[in-house]
Amino acid sequence: MTRRTAATDTGEERYELTWTGKRAALAAARTPSAGRLVADPDRSIDGPAPPHLFVEGDNLEVLKLLAAEHAGHVRLIYIDPPYATGNAFVYNDDFGDRGRHSRWLSMMLPRLVLARDLLTDDGLIAVSIDDHETAQLRLLLDETFGTDNFVATVCVRARASVSNDRLVSPSHHFVHLYARDIGALSARRTGFGLDPVLDGFDLTDERGPYRLVPLDGPGGAKKGNPHYEFQGVTGYWRYSKRTMQAKYDAGLVVVRPRALLQKYYRDDAAAKRRTATTWWDEEMQTSTATRRLRELMGEAVFDSPKPVELVRRLVTMAANEDGDVVLDFFAGSGTTGQAVLEANTADGRRRRYICVTLPEPTAERSEARRVGYRTVADITVARLQRVTPEGEGLEVRLLVPENT
Ligand SMILES: C[S@@+](CC[C@H](N)C(=O)[O-])C[C@H]1O[C@@H](n2cnc3c(N)ncnc32)[C@H](O)[C@@H]1O
């Protein structure tokens, strides 16, 4: 892989991300699918249309086939691709790290190109990754979605313990967020972000519950805050004297012996949706996810699932309307399906999930195989069947070659 940066692009050199196999990878996105999707009624659950959807098969083909029904209709894509940790498709190559990155990029490029076409204009893609490929992924996302459409990188604490296995123990991973069109996503800003915390609004007046917040200008003079005396209290304030007076006249300023405070109403807080870029809760940790999945399935059937809470948070942040479709095309054990259903239960919305995963064989001597799951897709279906609530449908489809 080479990445060249030139202060000024010239005929010979320009800023670009390139690697061995890139052209073929792009061509793979453009080749029509050689397969079709067939329903698997035995594993589906009947329910009122439209049902949730699970597709078993290679996501490159499946993404092409989903375009016919879903192009431009998916509000949120969450994926947790293989991290290229040294196994799966990326091992055993003769090129060392460079070959590994090239293969990983070649695998991701056509899938991201196809994924982009499925998103609504105001849709969002969220991609989990760790240190192995985070640098390559950012550049690839910049290229496929456009640098202007970068929204944020969320840093998630994945484990609490600190080990000696590395010089500095990695305990987090990343979720890169990109908009399909940052302008369209920004236009629905009031519907985007996490629900505000509404604790502590213990006081009430005729406008409703409120709490008191300081009126000091943070950073004092250095931040250019105005300095003046108001109602006998002198300090650096958040507002100009004129604005302060207007707020005081409106009954919003409370004067204390050495402080000025402002009423902050619960209703105003409820209308503000904000999201920070560090997600540090215990519920975000892999150990929590592993424990919860074991409780649900009765056995440890899948290594390192993502926490339902992580995906649920992304869902409540970015897919907030009835009918929103959430897609995960590296679905693994089906965490995203469960997260969508839990988000629906919590806020009463009717979102739908589409999960896609490969029928990768489970390991010979694994717990999953011992209890009868031959493939990862068997685990996904079992989990989705288990969490799908009464009255909702699940359609299972299989990818099959065109001529069968
Ligand atoms: C890191 S795991 C995802 C785990 C998932 N987030 C969870 O919580 O269970 C990646 C999954 O993608 C699947 N996968 C890899 N290549 C794929 C492909 N080409 N098409 C569909 N799924 C694929 C793997 O079999 C694996 O189950």
Q: Where are the domains of the chain?
A: 34-195+278-401, 203-270
* Bigger pLDDT: 282 vs 66: 66
Residue 61: exposure state from Cβ atoms within 10 A (0-12, 13-18, ≥19): buried
How far away, in angstroms, is 329 Cα from ligand 1 center?
7
Atom of ligand 1 minimally distant from the CA of 305: 8
pLDDT band at 196 (very low <50, low <70, confident <90, very high): confident
Q: Is 140 in the pocket of ligand 1 (CB under 6 A)?
A: no
- Rounded to an integer, what distance in angstroms lies between the CA atom of residue 282 and that of residue 397? 35
pLDDT band at 87 (very low <50, low <70, confident <90, very high): very low
137 touches 107 (CB < 8 A)? no
> DSSP state, 333?
T
Rounded mean pLDDT, 388-398? 95
Q: Is the pLDDT confidence value at 379 over 90?
A: yes
Q: Is 305 in the pocket of ligand 1 (CB under 6 A)?
A: yes
pLDDT band at 274 (very low <50, low <70, confident <90, very high): confident
1 touches 102 (CB < 8 A)? yes
Rounded mean pLDDT, 278-296? 94
Rounded mean pLDDT, 333-358? 96
- The pLDDT score that the predictor gives to residue 11 is 75
* Bigger pLDDT: 305 vs 6: 305
Which of 33, 357, 366 has most ligand 1 atoms within 8 Å of CB, for mutation? 357
Average pLDDT of the chain? 91
Provide the Cα torsion 282, 135, 126, 120; round to 10°: 170
Q: Is the pLDDT confidence value at 8 over 80?
A: no
Q: Is the pLDDT confidence value at 89 over 50?
A: no
> DSSP state, 237?
B
**Other CB atoms closer than 10 Å to residue 306's CB: what's the count?**
24
Rounded mean pLDDT, 153-161? 93
Atom of ligand 1 minimally distant from the CA of 376: 27
209 touches 217 (CB < 8 A)? no
Q: Is the pLDDT confidence value at 269 over 90?
A: no
> DSSP state, 286?
H
| Shortest-distance Cα residue to atom 19 of ligand 1 | 58
How far away, in angstroms, is 33 Cα from ligand 1 center?
20
Q: Is 286 in the pocket of ligand 1 (CB under 6 A)?
A: no
394 touches 385 (CB < 8 A)? yes
How far away, in angstroms, is 127 Cα from ligand 1 center?
12
- Min mean pLDDT across 88-102, 136-150, 176-190 is at 88-102
Q: Is the pLDDT confidence value at 323 over 60?
A: yes
- The pLDDT score that the predictor gives to residue 192 is 85
Atom of ligand 1 minimally distant from the CA of 356: 21
Quickly name the fold that domain 34-195+278-401 has.
Rossmann fold (3.40.50)
- The pLDDT score that the predictor gives to residue 264 is 95
> DSSP state, 223?
G
Q: Is 360 in the pocket of ligand 1 (CB under 6 A)?
A: yes
Rounded mean pLDDT, 24-46? 95
Atom of ligand 1 minimally distant from the CA of 306: 8
Atom of ligand 1 minimally distant from the CA of 302: 9
* Bigger pLDDT: 50 vs 347: 347
| Shortest-distance Cα residue to atom 5 of ligand 1 | 332
pLDDT in tens, 216-246: 988 888 888 999 999 999 999 999 999 999 9
- The pLDDT score that the predictor gives to residue 191 is 78
Atom of ligand 1 minimally distant from the CA of 83: 1
- The pLDDT score that the predictor gives to residue 117 is 98
Percent of the chain with pLDDT over 90: 78
How far away, in angstroms, is 360 Cα from ligand 1 center?
9
